Amino acid sequence: MNHRRKGSIGAWLVGTIAAIACAFIAAGWATTSSTAGAQETTAEEGQDELLFDNFYCMGCHLQENMKLTLSDGEVLDLTIDSEAFNSSVHGEFDIPCVLCHTEITPYPHAPITAPDLRTFALERADACRGCHLDKYTEVADNVHGAARDNGHPEAAVCTDCHGTHDIQKTVEHSPEVQQTCRQCHSEVYQLYAESVHGEALVTGNRDVPTCTDCHGVHNLEGPTDSAFHLFSPQLCADCHNDPALMEPYDLSTNVLESYVADFHGSTVILFEKLAPDQETNKAVCIDCHGVHAIKKTDDPEGTVFQANLLQTCQRCHPDATENFSAAWLSHYSPEPGKATLVWLATWAYRILIPVVIGAMVLYVIALTVRKRQAARIAPA
């Protein structure tokens, strides 16, 4: 991180915390009476001081085996690991507990109403909003937010991915991120782990895509969105068209061009331009290669391995026979030895067309000259 960013974070931090703290105090956080006299104000200030003092909170929450059984029988662990908290991003900045726990009053706290642990966590999902409004807004609108609105309370909130009292600095494009997603998407993870991309990632290769490179992080998009499907070739092309990235693997960087030039791709590109919200039935990369289980082309388990290719085409071309898939050029441009006839035909056209048109032009020119000459010679 550069120094300018550090400076701006420092300023932002002081500003934000001061603003939030002032807001609480100004709002008369613990006001119980509308006829507050001078004496009561002093008591309130005392209460505020207590609230913003983490030592006060930890005086109780440091105790071991501090537990509470919720009404459905699940046990809430109330002990806070002070070491973990102090070495977290928030602990390092001495952030007062109550800036996240806006609902808390000095002891005795208001009684807990959540019947189970998940409800307890979801009721506190707004804790991060005050300081990370940008992330909060994105997460509320993404696939997880939508899933929660549609009756999947288990869809991820901030603390599922980041932790709660032990939050650490994050790393972009981290090879660890799929472990976070794995907690809840173990089936997808399994497919990915055995794919050409996942296998490479495990060996420390950072060139391959992780879950979030394709889906995004807080703006997570998903397959129920037809635009995501339609634009997915661009996702693959970001890497597969990059010569520097593909060179060590000796992989073609012609896959997008050849796909676009193809009968499937040309229609998909047209759709992208004209009707990005519409479903398309034409094949995109993932229809042939798979999504999370993409294999090397010479892997016998792969969907584009020569022996399996017909089956892949038959998903959409049920009447296709061996010739159908064998005759297709896949991503290759025709060349001698590979689709020799197509190559010959292409070159025949490339040579014949200029020759024929050239001859025609010559013929027209010759004819014009001849006519002019004839006109000059002929008597008026």
User: Which 290-309 positions form the footprint of ligand HEC (CB under 6 A)?
Assistant: 291-292, 294, 296-297, 304, 309
Q: Which of residues 261-290 bind ligand HEC (CB under 6 A)?
A: 263-264, 281-283, 285-289
In the complex, minimum distance from the CB of residue 256 to ligand HEC, in angstroms, rounded to a whole number: 5
Please say whether the beta carbons of 266 and 260 come within 8 A.
yes
Q: Which is nearer to ligand HEC, 154 or 360 (CB)?
A: 154
Q: Are 293 and 191 in contact (CB under 8 A)?
A: yes
Torsion of CA 368, 369, 372, 374, to 10 degrees: -110
Stretch that binds ligand HEC, among 31-39, 214-222, 341-349, 359-367 (CB under 6 A): 214-222
Q: Which is nearer to ligand HEC, 49 or 348 (CB)?
A: 49
Question: Binding residue for ligand HEC (CB under 6 A) from 25, 70, 84, 235?
Answer: 235
Residues 15/17/20/26 CA torsion (nearest 10 deg): -90
How far is 164 from 121, CA to CA, in rounded Å? Answer: 10
Shortest Å, Cβ 198 to ligand HEC: 7
Cβ atoms 139, 218 nearer than 8 A: yes
Gap between the Cα atoms of 257 and 265, Å rounded: 9
Choose one: 29-37, 228-236, 270-278, 343-351; the region binding ligand HEC (CB under 6 A).
228-236
Nearer to ligand HEC, 30 or 100 (CB): 100
Contacts of 315 (CB under 8 A, 6+ apart): 287
Please list, in sequence order, all residues whose beta carbon lies within 8 angstroms of the beta carbon of residue 102, skipping any fewer than 6 positions away.
Answer: 24, 126, 127, 130
Residue 246 in contact with residue 207, Cβ under 8 Å?
no
Total Cβ atoms within 10 A of residue 326:
10
Q: Which of 47, 74, 116, 159 binds ligand HEC (CB under 6 A)?
A: 159
Tokens of 69: 């059984």
Measured CA to CA, the distance from residue 167 to residue 169 in angstroms comes to 7
Least distance (Å) between residue 117 CB and ligand HEC: 8
Least distance from C-beta 248 to ligand HEC, angstroms?
8
**Neighbour-count burial of 10, counting CB atoms closer than 10 A to its CB (0-12 exposed, 13-18 middle, 19+ buried):** exposed
Task: Name the minimum Å distance from CB 48 to ligand HEC.
Answer: 10
How many of the chain's residues bind ligand HEC (CB under 6 A)? 130
Question: Please, which of residues 110-129 interact with ligand HEC by CB under 6 A?
Answer: 112, 121, 124, 127-128
CB of residue 354 to ligand HEC, shortest distance in Å: 28
Cα 25 → chain centroid: 39
Q: What is the footprint of ligand HEC within residues 302-361 (CB under 6 A)?
A: 304, 309, 312-313, 315-317, 324-325, 328, 330-331
In the complex, least distance from residue 71 CB atom to ligand HEC, rounded to whole angstroms: 13
- Report how far residue 157's alpha carbon sits from residue 136's, in angstroms, rounded to the nearest whole number: 9
Q: Which is nearer to ligand HEC, 40 or 249 (CB)?
A: 249
- List the interface residues with ligand HEC, window 8-37 (CB under 6 A): 9, 13, 16-17, 20
Q: Nearer Cβ to ligand HEC, position 30 or 181? A: 181
Structure tokens at 283: 């094949």
Piece of the chain touching ligand HEC by CB under 6 A; list 26-34, 38-46, 139-147, 341-349: 139-147
How many beta carbons lie within 10 A of that of residue 139, not counting itself?
24
CB of 361 to ligand HEC, least distance (A): 35
Q: CB-wise, 89 or 357, nearer to ligand HEC?
A: 89
Sites for ligand HEC among residues 51-110 (CB under 6 A): 51, 54, 56-61, 68, 76-78, 80, 85, 89-90, 93, 95, 97-101, 104, 107, 109
Q: Which of positions 170-209 make contact with ligand HEC (CB under 6 A)? A: 170, 172, 177-178, 180-181, 183-185, 188-189, 192, 196-197, 200, 207-209
Q: Taken in order 128, 134, 140, 143, is the CA torsion positive or negative?
A: negative
- What does the angle CA 63 – CA 65 – CA 67 come to, to the nearest 5 degrees? 105
Q: How far is the CB of 343 from ligand HEC (least distance, A)?
A: 16
Closest to 97 measured CA to CA, from 163, 145, 53: 53
